[in-house]
Structure 1
Amino acid sequence: MKNIKNTLLGLTVAVTTLTACNKTTNQENTSEMKIPQHANHDEIYACPMHPEVIGAQGDKCGQCGMALQAVDQPTAAELTVKISSTPEVLEAGKSANLAIAVTAADKPVPLEEAHEMKMHLLLVSEDLSWFDHIHPQEQKDGSYTVAETFPNGGNYLIFTDYKPVGLPGAVNRQKVAVTGATLASKMDYKPKLVAEVDGYKITLLNGADFKTNSSQDLQFSVEKNGKKLQESDFENYLGATAHIVMIGKEDKDFLHIHPISDKRFPIYAQTLIKKSGVYRMWAQFQINGKLYTADFTVDVATGTAGKMDDHSGHQH
């Protein structure tokens, strides 16, 4: 497999430190993207034959029985994210296998689980009309693979959300081109605060009030057949009641938000939006084993600077 060509994009980072969540760093690849450095000197013990097997000093590999050996821990600045595909040329309507490798000095870097997965892949069309959230599976060589079918020709963005062992989480952004028929975009980017999905009506109650520079509540109501749902009606989806992603229309600013418990709203979170403008938002939740995705469009106004660290949720 050959590396997909990446197009360099302008990048604006939306980052915050939240309860029980590590500070994350957005990054974007050309062919190999460096992450800003963070100091960390903990040792990692891994199997010399199976680098994906990690543990503590004195542990043995569960696959071959060899003693785990200390390995040099990379700094965040040494990490690269490479994406390749089979077939090499992506074609609309045809399944392709994506392979993602997080490496340092061309060696795979072990990842930790974050919200029940070691890697989250968020894919969107460049006009933000199409969205998918998938989870590549770890392979024996330390890479991660997943199949995807892009609906139409055009440019797409791939956000790779991951956390190396002993390092802060990070989000990597790359652009890929998909061949095939390109449809004219029908996105008008007008505010959309109500979504209807398979009989569920999901309303972003305070979506018209979003402002920058201060903590923002995300308040959702969910109804079906006129009945309002409670938090207890939702099933666990990757360690949370729901997952929320926001991406800016202009600079493709990225926020990955995980709701927290709140008696007033079945889906509730807090976030900090640093740039004004139009954002697309997707909220995903699971009921009776089925995953639902509701999409919204919000226009974030410029607000008066306030406290930048008052949050109680999980955000990347």
Structure 2
Amino acid sequence: MNTATKLGSYVLGLAVVFGGALGVGKVVGPVGSPPAEDHAAMAAPVASAAHGDEHGVQPAENDTPGGLQVSENGYTFNPLTTTLKPDEPTDFRFAVTGPNGEPVTDYQVEHDKKLHLIVASRDLGTFRHVHPEMAPDGVWSVKLTLPSAGAYRVFADFAPTGGSALTLGADLVATGDYRPEALPEQSRTAKVDGYTVNLDGELTPGRSSKLTLKVSKDGEPVTDLQPYLGAYGHLVALRARDLAYLHVHPDGEPGDGKTEAGPEIVFYAEVPSTGDYRLFLDFQHEGKVRTADFTLGAGERPAIPEATPTPAPTSSGHADDGHGH
């Protein structure tokens, strides 16, 4: 059983600010040599309106959340692999093309990597944060194993040299019988591999919110967290209803003389709307990276109006509306 999918994403920096310049375009192709079964993943070249005219004029900025699109500011995420088999390691290949339609090969290093790849199932039960390798021709690849059949969303988080940071999204399918799970209940405590992570703070739509995550093991606070990708923790948030993407980085960094190596990791995040969010914290201790996950609501949910009672029928078969006959 397949499920319909929606798209969504957006990027966020320290003290998280949402938004970006968006330009809608088509998938650019072909790039590199896609596997035979993936030829359909590439389409026609991007229209010039997606990346400005011949004079380099860029599309107007707006505050649409990023990552809900495959293209933004003339950059396009081109998956060369679109279908995988569950529980089978597969080379996931893709390229990012720029405003000139050519594969991008020059990236800024952000948090020790040129590109971060996030993979999440549509029901938000599965999360992967991986780091592919780029070939000289601009084609990226990473060995990816998806645990079960279903619909997935893949996010490429990067900053091209000379450009602003972007997150682009595309869909990925693991073949087979898809049985989506319900969104996990809201919880402020996560347990993983003997570690307990507690979350303190609220998500307030339209306002920067402080989130504090405290790591302990066997009941004792962990005070020797190890740097992972230049920080003591990385937090990704996905809005449940459309998988809008938010990458939050912690306050401070290892070696700055003031940031302690645990047990607390502090983040500042701003979400754009009410609703449920899934939060995924990557942290490293004793040489291994672990992921703690939470479900957290933002703001008050809109009230659902009560249904108007249906008048009971009278003996004549007509609804009793209070008027006599």
Q: TM-score, normalised on structure 2?
A: 0.70
2:274–2:298 contact (8 Å) kept in structure 1: yes
In 1, the alpha carbon distance for the partners of 2:291 and 2:120 equals 13
How far off its partner does 1:98 sit?
1.3
Pairing 1:224–2:222 present: no
Question: What is aligned with 2:231?
Answer: 240
In 2, the alpha carbon distance for the partners of 1:26 and 1:154 equals 29
How far off its partner does 1:253 sit?
1.3
Which one is further off, 289-298 or 101-110?
A: 101-110
In 1, the alpha carbon distance for the partners of 2:263 and 2:24 equals 35
Describe how 1:183-194 pairs up with structure 2 within 5 A. Answer: 184-194=179-189
Question: What is aligned with 1:3?
Answer: none
1:292 to 284, 290, 293: 290
How far off its partner does 1:266 sit?
1.8
220 and 129 in structure 1: CA distance in 2 versus 1, 3 angstrom threshold: same
158 and 192 in structure 1: CA distance in 2 versus 1, 3 angstrom threshold: same
In 1, the alpha carbon distance for the partners of 2:269 and 2:277 equals 13
Question: Counterpart of 2:290 in structure 1: which amino acid?
Answer: Y
In 2, the alpha carbon distance for the partners of 1:165 and 1:102 equals 13
2:7–2:244 contact (8 Å) kept in structure 1: no
2:11–2:247 contact (8 Å) kept in structure 1: no
Question: What is aligned with 1:210?
Answer: 203
Pairing 1:201–2:196 present: yes
How far off its partner does 1:177 sit?
1.6
1:163–1:169 contact (8 Å) kept in structure 2: yes
How far off its partner does 1:19 sit?
6.9
2:103 to 108, 111, 120: 108
Describe how 1:53-92 pairs up with structure 2 within 5 A. Answer: 77-85=73-81, 89-92=83-86
Question: What is aligned with 2:64?
Answer: none
In 2, the alpha carbon distance for the partners of 1:23 and 1:126 equals 23
Question: Counterpart of 2:186 in structure 1: which amino acid?
Answer: P
Which one is further off, 88-97 or 126-135?
A: 88-97
Question: What is aligned with 2:279?
Answer: 281
1:94 to 84, 88, 91: 88
How far off its partner does 1:240 sit?
0.8
Describe how 1:295-306 pairs up with structure 2 within 5 A. Answer: 295-302=293-300
Question: Counterpart of 2:282 in structure 1: which amino acid?
Answer: Q
1:244–1:258 contact (8 Å) kept in structure 2: yes
Pairing 1:139–2:135 present: yes
In 2, the alpha carbon distance for the partners of 1:153 and 1:163 equals 31
Structure 2 residues without counterparts, runs of 5 or longer:
29-45, 57-71, 253-258, 302-325
Q: How many residues align?
A: 256
In 2, the alpha carbon distance for the partners of 1:151 and 1:211 equals 33
Identity %: 27
Question: What is aligned with 2:125?
Answer: 129
Please list the CA deviations of residues 41-96 of structure 1 after superposition, one character each: whole Å capped at 9, or x if unmatched: 99xxxxxxxxxxxxxxxxxxxxxxxxxxxxxxxxx7332221112xx641111111
Question: What is aligned with 1:154?
Answer: 150
How far off its partner does 1:186 sit?
3.3
Question: What is aligned with 2:270?
Answer: 272
Question: What is aligned with 2:160?
Answer: 164
How far off its partner does 1:271 sit?
1.0
In 2, the alpha carbon distance for the partners of 1:36 and 1:301 equals 35
1:14–1:274 contact (8 Å) kept in structure 2: no
Over aligned residues, Cα RMSD in angstroms? 3.3
Question: Counterpart of 1:102 in structure 2: which amino acid?
Answer: V
In 2, the alpha carbon distance for the partners of 1:27 and 1:296 equals 32
SS in 2 for 1:255: strand
How far off its partner does 1:239 sit?
0.8
How far off its partner does 1:185 sit?
3.1
Higher Cα Rg: structure 1 or 2? 2
Pairing 1:259–2:250 present: yes
How far off its partner does 1:119 sit?
0.8
How far off its partner does 1:27 sit?
8.0
SS in 1 for 2:73: helix
Structure 1 residues without counterparts, runs of 5 or longer:
1-6, 43-75, 304-316
How far off its partner does 1:201 sit?
0.7
How far off its partner does 1:289 sit?
0.9
1:26–1:170 contact (8 Å) kept in structure 2: no
Higher share of residues assigned strand: 1
Question: Counterpart of 1:91 in structure 2: which amino acid?
Answer: K
